[in-house]
Amino acid sequence: MQLWTGLGNPGPQYAMHRHNIGFMAVDAIAEVHGFAAPRRAFQGWVQEGRIGTHKVLLLKPGTYMNESGRSVGEALRFYKLTPADVTVFHDELDLAPFKLKVKAGGGHAGHNGLRSTDAHIGPDFRRIRLGIGHPGHKDRVTPHVLGNFAKAELDDLTDLLGAVAAEAPWLAAGDDVRFMNEVARRMG
Could you tell me the domains of the chain?
2-187 (3.40.50.1470)
Whether the pLDDT of residue 36 is over 90: the answer is yes
For position 128, what pLDDT does the model report? 98
Average pLDDT over residues 129-155: 95
For position 188, what pLDDT does the model report? 84
Q: Give the pairing type, strands 86-92 and 126-131.
A: parallel
Its sign, for the CA torsion 124, 85, 164, 140, is: negative
* Of the candidates 168, 186, 171, 174, the residue with the CA atom closest to the CA atom of residue 98: 186
pTM value?
A: 0.97
Average pLDDT over residues 87-112: 95
Q: Is 79 annotated as a binding residue?
A: no
Q: Is 112 annotated as a binding residue?
A: yes
Q: How far apart are the first and last CA of the chain?
A: 32
For position 82, what pLDDT does the model report? 97
Q: Is 14 annotated as a binding residue?
A: yes
Q: Mean pLDDT over all residues of the chain? A: 97
Give ∠ CA 162-37-101 in degrees, rounded to 5.
30
CA distance 109 to 91: 11
Catalytic residue among 19, 33, 90, 111: 19
Amino acid at residue number 44:
G
For position 127, what pLDDT does the model report? 98
For position 38, what pLDDT does the model report? 97
Residue 23 CA neighbour count, 13 Å, CB half: 23
Is 19 annotated as catalytic?
Answer: yes
